[in-house]
């Protein structure tokens, strides 16, 4: 008996990412950020999620992320699929199989991400004995062996936790224009790198038949999905800060609670009805006098 699993559906991706982001935001004890968080998660999902058509060997073209796979060169057109790309590139002499190309590409993008100023400084402070080599992370005690998946995820999650702390600080202190100007290109770079990494890692997942009933296969799949969720959470928190700094709506004093918003709406409605009633009464009085 076997249970084959290929790729994450958009629903599975969203549920897993929401749980991951919630766990990373929990220590900050930030309140009233559900809309901001959900908006960021939705954006990440739309950018990187695909789904294969169950009845025909095509990608579901209703998902916006398909075009990103085309523009990134993962798909040849909007009807392509990762498995079709893999099969078409296999067995051709002198040509590297496409899934191996994707693996090289996402490690190249990870290398770029790890050398981004903020990420590099975070690694230096919190992981002084870990170094980046071509998108792989190595511990000084085992220089010839990359970090295992679980430790690799812990490093990515720590980077995300540092962004969560900045999110919390900005919420407490309100909008800081110089800070915003300094961070905007860094956050954009982090988010864009994560998107490129996720697209390639998810394409790899969609072209691999994982047997969840086989221990080793299930473990490899679970580790790969765990890394996907870590990069997706990093992209989500970066997008949360980008969204708020762009809208210039930092600070709890600048954010009305839902109750306050409804209260203001009710006041507006009451004033409008009172004004409307005054006009009707005035007209009725004039008609009566005439």
Could you read off the pLDDT of 101-145 as tens digits, one per residue? 999 999 999 999 999 999 999 999 999 999 999 999 999 999 899
Instruction: Give the pLDDT confidence score for residue 251 in this predicted structure.
Output: 41
Report which of 159, 180, 184 is spatially closest to residue 250, judged by C-alpha positions.
Answer: 180
Q: Of 248, 133, 233, 129, which Cα lies nearest the Cα of 190?
A: 233
Q: What is residue 68's predicted lDDT score, i.e. its pLDDT? A: 95
Nearest to 206 by CA among 97, 85, 63, 105: 85
pLDDT of residue 59: 81
Residues 111, 196 contacting (CB under 8 angstroms): no
Residue 222 CB coordination number (10 Å):
13
The radius of gyration of the chain's CA atoms, rounded to the nearest angstrom, is 25
What's the whole-model pTM score?
0.82
Predicted local confidence at residue 96, as pLDDT? 81
Q: How many helices (H) and strands (E) does the chain have?
A: 10, 4
DSSP 76: S
* Strand spans (E) along 82-221: 130-133, 136-139, 210-211
Provide the pLDDT for residue 2. 78
Along the 290 residues of the chain, how does pLDDT read in single tens digits?
778 888 899 999 999 999 999 999 999 998 889 999 999 999 999 999 998 876 666 787 788 899 999 999 999 998 899 999 998 887 665 678 899 999 999 999 999 999 999 999 999 999 999 999 999 999 999 989 999 999 999 999 999 999 999 888 877 765 544 455 677 899 999 999 999 999 999 999 999 888 888 888 899 999 999 999 999 999 999 999 998 776 554 444 344 455 556 666 777 777 767 766 777 776 666 655 55
Q: Which residues of 81-113 are buried (b: 16+ CB within 10 A; e: fewer)?
A: bbbbbbeeeeeeeeeebbbebbbebbbebbebb
Tokens of 71: 């523009």
| Model pLDDT, residue 258 | 53
- Read off the pLDDT of residues 21-61 as tens digits, 9 standing for 90 and up: 999 999 999 888 999 999 999 999 999 999 887 666 678 77
Lookup: tokens for 66: 């398909």
pLDDT score recorded for residue 108:
98
> What angle is formed at CA 66 by the lines to CA 199 and CA 205, rounded to 5 degrees?
40
Dist CA 201 CA 227 (whole Å): 9
Please give the structure tokens belonging to residue 103: 């693996």
pLDDT at position 215 is 84
The reported pLDDT for the residue numbered 214 is: 84
209: Cβ contacts below 8 Å, ≥ 6 apart: 4, 5, 6
Query: DSSP labels for 19-67?
Result: HHHHHHHGGGT--S-HHHHHHHHHHHHHHH---B-SSSSSB-TTSTHHH
Q: How far is Cα 113 from Cα 68, in angstroms, rounded to an integer?
A: 19
């Amino acid at each position: 008996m076997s249970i084959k699993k290929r790729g994450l559906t958009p629903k599975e991706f969203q549920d897993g990412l929401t749980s991951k982001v919630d766990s990373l935001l929990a220590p900050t004890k930030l309140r009233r950020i559900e809309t901001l968080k959900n908006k960021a998660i939705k954006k990440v999902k739309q950018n990187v999620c695909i789904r294969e058509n169950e009845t025909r060997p095509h990608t579901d073209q209703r998902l916006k992320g398909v075009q990103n796979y085309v523009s990134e060169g993962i798909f040849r057109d909007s009807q392509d699929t990762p498995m079709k790309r893999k099969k078409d590139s296999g067995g051709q002499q002198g040509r590297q199989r496409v899934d191996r190309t994707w693996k090289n590409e996402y490690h190249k993008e990870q290398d770029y991400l790890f050398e981004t100023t903020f990420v590099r400084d975070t690694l230096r402070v919190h992981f002084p004995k870990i170094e980046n080599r071509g998108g792989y992370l190595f511990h000084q005690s085992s220089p010839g062996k990359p970090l295992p998946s679980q430790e690799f995820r812990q490093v990515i999650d720590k980077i995300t936790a540092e962004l969560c702390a900045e999110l919390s600080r900005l919420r407490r202190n309100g909008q800081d224009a110089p800070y915003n100007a300094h961070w905007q290109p860094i956050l954009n770079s982090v988010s864009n790198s994560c998107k490129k990494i996720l697209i390639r890692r998810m394409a790899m997942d969609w072209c691999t038949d994982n047997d969840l009933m086989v221990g080793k296969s299930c473990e490899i799949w679970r580790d790969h999905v765990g890394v996907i969720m870590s990069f997706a959470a990093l992209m989500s928190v970066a997008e949360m800060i980008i969204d708020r700094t762009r809208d210039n709506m930092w600070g709890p004093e600048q954010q009305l609670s839902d109750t306050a918003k409804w209260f203001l709406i009710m006041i507006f409605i009451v004033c409008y009805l009172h004004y409307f009633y005054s006009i009707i009464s005035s007209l009725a009085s004039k008609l009566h006098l005439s």
